């Protein structure tokens, strides 16, 4: 039994912890926490919407760090982490937009408005989808990793813009919240779900990076050699 437990990859335990915390956080947010003062029951979606935003931006920030590390160190592992973070980040941003639209309809009266926070988040999603499209276009593994890294750094410029958009422009979206402005009964499910999504995102990124490493095998990523000169030149 102990030998079998040792063979379980570490990220599976992280993912399991994330699932357990998500169940706990969802129960606390849906059952134990009181309705939001102004939004009522619809405000409960914020218990997953806000953590999704936090972890989405964090995941794409890690993607940018991994991209920079690939350009600096040229170690394949950084490319593996980079592509994992980009793919998981895209899923989280897509979830974020769906959750936001679901919340906006009863709150603002529309599913979508060109609010700065919504618009910059939509641009973020499209930018990282473009990163994956570019990656699929390049055949050579070394160039693919390099082009992906450069494109990731360019796309990641939008991450702080999304975060600070509610500060820089007039917006329908609510401003930053803090433990001082949120009731304690509402802070708990936010924190639990934040750790839940952090653990789940870590699990998914680790699994994707492991898959990329297995697919690459022992192949070393090296710059493509220049074509041999044509005889007689």
Pairwise CA distance, residues 55 & 193, whole Å: 10
Pairwise CA distance, residues 60 & 58, whole Å: 6
**Tell me, what's the pLDDT at 31?**
86
Burial annotation 119-146 (CB, 10 A radius, 16+ → b, else e):
bbbbebbebbeebbebbeeeeebbebbb
**Tell me, what's the pLDDT at 207?**
94
Domain 10-216, CATH = 1.20.120
In SS3 terms, 110-141 reads as: CCCCCCHHHHHHHHHHHHHHHHHHHHHHCCCH
| Residue ranges covered by each domain of the chain | 10-216
Instruction: pLDDT tens for the chain, 233 residues: list them.
Output: 444 445 668 889 999 999 999 999 999 888 887 777 667 677 788 889 999 999 999 999 999 999 999 999 889 999 999 999 999 999 999 999 999 888 888 877 788 888 888 899 999 999 999 999 999 998 888 999 999 999 999 999 999 999 988 787 777 666 656 555 566 667 888 999 999 999 999 999 999 999 988 887 666 566 666 543 344 44
**Tell me, what's the pLDDT at 219?**
61
**Tell me, what's the pLDDT at 41?**
74
**Tell me, what's the pLDDT at 100?**
87
Please report which residue ranges of 74-113 form alpha helices under DSSP H: 76-108
CA distances from 15 to 10, 206, 207 (A): 9, 10, 10
**Tell me, what's the pLDDT at 45?**
84
Query: Tokens 């055949």 belong to which residue?
Result: 139
């Amino acid at each position: 039994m102990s030998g079998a437990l040792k063979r379980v990859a570490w990220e599976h335990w992280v993912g399991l912890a994330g699932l357990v915390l998500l169940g706990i956080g969802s129960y606390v947010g849906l059952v134990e926490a009181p309705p939001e003062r102004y939004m009522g029951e619809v405000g409960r979606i914020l218990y997953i919407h806000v953590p999704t935003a936090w972890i989405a931006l964090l995941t794409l920030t890690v993607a940018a760090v991994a991209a920079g590390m690939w350009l600096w160190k040229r170690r394949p592992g950084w490319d593996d982490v980079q592509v994992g973070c980009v793919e998981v980040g895209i899923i989280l941003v897509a979830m974020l937009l769906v959750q936001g639209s679901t919340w906006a309809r009863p709150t603002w009266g529309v599913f979508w408005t060109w609010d700065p926070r919504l618009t910059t988040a939509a641009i973020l999603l499209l930018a990282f989808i473009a990163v994956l499209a570019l990656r699929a276009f390049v055949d050579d593994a070394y160039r693919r990793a390099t082009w992906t890294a450069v494109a990731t750094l360019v796309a990641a410029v939008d991450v702080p813009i999304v975060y600070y958009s509610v500060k820089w422009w007039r917006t329908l979206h609510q401003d930053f919240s803090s433990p001082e402005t949120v009731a304690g009964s509402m802070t708990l499910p936010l924190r639990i779900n934040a750790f839940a999504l952090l653990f789940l995102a870590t699990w998914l990124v680790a699994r994707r990076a492991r898959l990329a490493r297995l697919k690459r095998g022992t192949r070393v990523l090296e710059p493509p050699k220049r074509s041999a000169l044509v005889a007689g030149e």
